[in-house]
Amino acid sequence: MLAVMYAGGPVSSCLVLRFGSRPVVILGGLMCGVSMVTASFGSSIIYLYICVGIIGGCGLAFNLNASLNIISKYFLVRRPLANGLAMAGSPVFLCILAPVNQYLLDSYGWRGSLLVLGAIMLNCCVAGALMRPVAQPPSSPPEQKVEEQPNNTNSNLKESCLKNISFFDVSFFKDRGFIIYLFGSIMFIFGAYAPFLFLSAYAISQGIDEHSAAYLLSFMGFVDMVVRPGTGLTANSKWIRPRIQYFFSFAVTYNGLCHLLCPLIHSYSFLLFYTFCFAMSFGMVFALIFECLMDLMGPQRFPSAVGMVTIIECFPMLLGPPIAGLLVDITGDYKYLFILCGSVIFTGGVFLFVMNIYNDHMLKKEKNAKDREQNQKNMEDQDHKDIKRTPKAMMEQTEFEVTEDNGAQGDLEIAETPN
């Protein structure tokens, strides 16, 4: 289900670009609901794989992509906070659904539980109904042409989708910032889920009773619930927002460090402290992971970018936990799992940090080069024309042209432009 959810990204982004977020989320909610309800009538594991895995995964993919897209369309000034709040939904539902699920299983068995969970997932349609389409500006002609032809045939839709995908594929990989982000997030996703999955097993192996081990996970959910909007709020502040990529790399490095330090001391209170730090860093990374991509790509390119990122992230997500589990089986000790995951994530974080410094340095250089080119061009133009304007006005004009330019600009300079 997770594999299909992440692999369905490009299809979802294509649909979102064509139809907008609202119909896609409503369709996704319906698919999720239908998948659970049909699964409740099944009698074989293959049937469950198809229902919950494929249909449910597709529904979830549509929901994820379209929801992220609508955040990027609705918000700009308070986008990090919006991202943090949206990502906080995950731990909230984790905490609520755990006891609800237990109650449903005890009252109705697994079939009834799937039926009721399918109904709960239909609430995604309510979320979809709230996603009012953003008003498109009527000035730009190419968009108007698309509006005037609502009766696209299916082949047209497929053609435009494929064209969009293939076009953006190549151009994304030319973007330095995108490549850096992609590598960093691949390394993070590889090591992120394994400690989460093996935490209670590790606690039990350390001699802690099952009840306390289960309590660790709910404690993690609570901390995560608070940290995600908190991180969004912090990232929105005027000191952090220009340096959000560094904040993201710090969060990833902190996560890696937590895992590396976990196997050092064996006591319940230390494990609790580790869970707290893990939950905090996990929440911070997930609150920022899509915000950083939006920051890099912008609302136009974001739908296709997120589709591509999710389909590439599919591989480390599927490989990470089994490799970690294999390591535990071979060595018989959980500490190697934490060392492996911690070192991969820590390396990813450091890579992000260093490469972001390099990227900003290169962006500044490119911007300076372009500024010089512009200045030279203006000077040449000025030589050919009569001197009508004062030099001060000329400087203002070059600044104005530079800010309007689509060329690369440094972060701090954008931050300093007045609201």
Residues that bind another protein (CB under 8 A): 26, 37, 73-79, 105-109, 111-113, 115-116, 118-120, 122-123, 125-126, 129-130, 132, 134-135, 137, 139-140, 174-177, 238, 241-242, 244, 294-300, 359, 363, 404, 406-409, 411, 414-415, 419
CA angle 334, 336, 337 (to 5 degrees): 70
Question: Which CB, 259 or 301, lies closer to another protein?
Answer: 301
Nearer to another protein among residue 326 and residue 415 (C-beta) = 415
Of the two residues 156 and 210, which places its CB atom closer to another protein in the complex? 210
CB of 139 to another protein, least distance (A): 7
**Please, are residues 275 and 199 in contact by the beta-carbon 8 Å criterion?**
yes
Q: 199 or 235, CB closer to another protein?
A: 235
Q: Quickly list DSSP for 327-379.
A: HHHHH--THHHHHHHHHHHHHHHHHHHHHHHHHHHHHHHHHHHHHHHHHHHHH
Shortest distance (Å) from residue 137 CB to another protein: 3
CA-nearest of 181, 162, 125 to 11 is 162
CA–CA gap between residue 126 and residue 263 (Å, rounded): 44
Residue among 234 and 409 whose Cβ is closer to another protein: 409
Identity of the residue, 123 or 397, whose beta carbon is nearer to another protein in the bound complex: 123
316, 190 in Cβ contact below 8 A? yes
User: Rounded to the nearest whole angstrom, what is the least distance from the CB of residue 130 to another protein in the complex?
Assistant: 6
Name residue 2's amino acid: L
Distance of closest approach, residue 163 Cβ to another protein, in angstroms: 16
Q: How far is the CB of 254 from another protein (least distance, A)?
A: 23
Q: What are residue 151's phi and psi, to 5 degrees?
A: -95, 55
Exposed, middle or buried by CB within 10 Å (0-12, 13-18, 19+), for 107?
exposed
Alpha carbon distance 262, 366 (integer Å):
43
- Minimal distance, residue 264 CB to another protein, in Å: 33
Rounded alpha-carbon distances, angstroms, from residue 30 to 37, 212, 310: 11, 38, 22
CA distances from 5 to 55, 104, 291, 318 (A): 9, 25, 19, 12
* Residue 243 φ then ψ, to 5°: -110, 35
Q: Which two tokens stand for residue 136?
A: 């498109």
Smallest distance, Å, CB 91 to another protein?
22
* Residue closer to another protein, measured from CB, 163 or 266: 163
Q: Measured from the CB of residue 391, what is the shortest distance to another protein in angstroms?
A: 27
* Shorter beta-carbon distance to another protein: residue 313 or 411: 411
